[in-house]
Amino acid sequence: MKSQELVLWFKDIGIEDIHLVGGKNASLGEMFQKLTKKRINIPDGFAVTASAYQHFLKEEQLEPEIRRLIHNINPKSVESLRKYGHEIREHMLRADIPPKLRIAIIDAYRKLQRKYGKNREVAVRSSATAEDLPDASFAGQQETYLNVRGEAHLLEACKKCFASLFTNRAIHYRIDRNFNHFDVSLSIGVQLMVRSDLGSSGIMFSIDTETGFKDAVLINSIYGLGENIVLGRVNPDEFYVHKPTLKLGYKPILSKKLGNKKLKMIYSHEGSKESTRNILTTQKERESYSITEKETLELAKWACQIEDHYKKPMDMEWAKDGKSKKLYIVQARPETIQSRRDTSVLEEYHLGKKGRIITKGRSVGSKIGTGQAQIVKDVHDMKKFRKGNVLVTDMTDPDWEPIMKIAAGIITNRGGRTCHAAIISRELGIPCIVGTNNATQKIKNKQPITVSCAEGETGYIYDGILKYKIQTHHLNNLEKPNTSVMVNLGNPEQAFEVAQMPHEGIGLAREEFIINEYIKIHPKALINFNTLVDKDAKRKIQELTKGYKNKEHYFIDKLSQGVATLAAAFYPKDVIVRLSDFKSNEYAHLIGGKLFEPLEDNPMIGWRGASRYRTKSYKKAFALECKALLKVRKEMGLKNLKIMVPFCRTVKEGKLVLKEMAKNGLKRHKDNLEIYVMCEIPANVILADEFAKIFDGFSIGTNDLTQLTLGLDRDSELVADIYDERNDAVKTLVATAIQKAKANKRHIGLCGEAGSLPDFAQFLVNQGIHSISVAPDALMKTIVTVLNAERNLKRK
């Protein structure tokens, strides 16, 4: 019978055997049995069972002393936990592994050696029988031993694994969750060691860890063995891949972010005992991605297959063998935080007045927290930490969990969004910012601070206690209006979070944010990089475009990734991307921009929008935009992307722009591509019938339409009192545009700020507009306004 065996091979166990071999081993056995057939690589191995652990306790008569020591622990005292936890582990380590169990482990080890070759290293991993339960995450509380070679070292590692059931953190967690210490047993997985010391390794999730967005795979990657990524010792490379279009055969890598990867864990053969050690990575390694795009896509496909097999979001560890160059999955467990979140309630955190930014890093979650900073540099100083303070440290590991649960926020120098600090802060529901590089230097001890994770992927630490508010929306009973309420969004960092709100897609996605924040360089400076005369600009471009021999590809990649993230977040609903609409003075502020931009007295009504794209001097730069958008649709499969031409003054100009787009692969109606035009110049309204012949839809931009209708500069405070979208002249043009678009069977929406004004939204509904697009913070309010307007219209 399985339940009495001391050793079971992966091929003989499955997910139903958690009580025998723990969650980790049960999952490895399940995948080895079911998923290797689908060409997912799982290293073979065997499990030392829970029965073996019980046999060890019984034969060595260990339980009475363990019970006595546990009874003495004061769970509220870090010192008590450390003292008695150490004594329990030492008590177990002094014992011998019983002969019957020793023989079973060695026999299995020799069989594994015969399969893979003599002296092959193994990984020895703890697998608790209560691990990876839906309502409690025991993962990471016991120990793992890597690069274990030889029978004596294996037996010693197994004994250490048994003892690690009583690490300080594991004891504390069980006490905290009211688990009986003797209801949990410890199984051990002995698995072929993938030579990621010569390759790379990492963690991936089949769900976004911050927002719960279910249609993306998140992959983190580093060089060397994977322990550094789990413990947050390095800032990893980060990749997002869109699942729905990946499954259709496309290559939808939505984003790639280069981590510094300063350390690499490798094997150490120093002395008599083989183990591991950290070395510094080379500059070339730090400036290169640790996996290729092909490998990124293969890992993402595996993540989808594993999720489909288990029918739930999954948290996986992977490794790349530097010798064979093969990828392997070495662990998989259910994701236990975002997948269990109540999606019927939406909480929005809004920071009031912002303060001085002390430092910033990667945000974990979307909450805001405040408190007094408490810098803790060493685990031995934990006893000084006070409840309600913000923990500021270099990095955390599982031993820190007793103080993390009483912190108002967590800030670390190192680590990515899958490191220990990030995982635990999500579980605890507190704001956390990782990878700041300098928090312990920049933040003063006892300094009042605000930790804001509510502003996208970048988390900010502000000086002082700042006010913030929380808006709670209950979505279960929210009706869907007939008028589509869409969102204006240009920041890809907010896309996954905003997409959780009720919406009908993106009505206006501005490229300007992506160009300003991600690219930062004027496109013509990239095209003409080799002949640039501005040495400072050339140095900055060289720094930003590391790894790009062809500088134009940098623009295409960054723009396509930003746009793709927006399109993927709202897939399959429409995402209308407006081509870049910088004015010449704004373009000049980009790196190298002053070399290529004219000086205009009034850039607001000068060389912008369609006029720029059709001009001979700018056509090559415009081609880069087109290539980026074509990549999103053709390579990534995000065909929900529609394109909008801004500031198109004449029908002739519109035709010239469409011709230029077609030259670069963006031909109207090819592959179902629809191209809209902004309706923001009175000429667009007056000649709407003609514009409707060459474009598929209109989006009214009330900012420029108001400016040009009333003949004022909307940037001038001298005439600011006249500026009003509710002026009858503006409303007449808006009403006319809606009527003409509908008469020509063209989509008509509004993406100006006026859509969020309740009386103006009511006016738009009365006119029969198809869609209204507003900023994310006005979305819920506008839905309610539109619903009320539609009800009033029915009553008439």
- Catalytically annotated residues: 420, 751
Residue 266: HSE in the Cβ half-sphere, 13 Å Cα cutoff: 12
Q: How crowded is residue 509: how many other Cβ atoms within 10 Å of its Cβ? A: 30
Q: Which residues contact 167 (CB under 8 A, 6 or more apart)?
A: 85, 89, 141, 142, 143, 398, 399
Cβ proximity of 421 and 395 under 8 Å: yes
Per-position b or e across 716-747, b if 16+ CB within 10 A of its CB: eeeeeeebebeeeebbebbbebbebbeebebb
Among the listed residues 461, 467, 466, the one whose alpha carbon sits nearest the alpha carbon of residue 373: 461
Q: Which helix (H) or strand (E) holds 347?
A: strand 345-351
Task: Collapse the DSSP code of 414 into the 3-class scheme (helix H, G, I; strand E, B; otherwise coil) and give the result.
Answer: coil
Q: In what order do the strands lie in the sheet with 327-334?
A: 253-257, 237-242, 216-223, 200-205, 314-320, 327-334
Strands of 93-236, DSSP E: 122-128, 144-148, 186-192, 200-205, 216-223
Cβ proximity of 339 and 404 under 8 Å: no
Cβ proximity of 748 and 697 under 8 Å: yes
Omega within 30 of 0 (cis) for the link into 431: no
The number of residues making up the chain comes to 796
Pairing of strands 200-205, 216-223: antiparallel
What token pair was written down for 335?
């994701």
Give residue 287's region: left, alpha or beta (phi > 0; psi -120 to 50): alpha
Q: In what order do the strands lie in the sheet with 122-128?
A: 7-9, 45-48, 186-192, 122-128, 144-148
Q: How crowded is residue 100: how many other Cβ atoms within 10 Å of its Cβ? A: 11
State the burial class of residue 568 (Cβ atoms within 10 Å of its Cβ: 0-12, 13-18, 19+). buried
Give residue 609's region: left, alpha or beta (phi > 0; psi -120 to 50): left
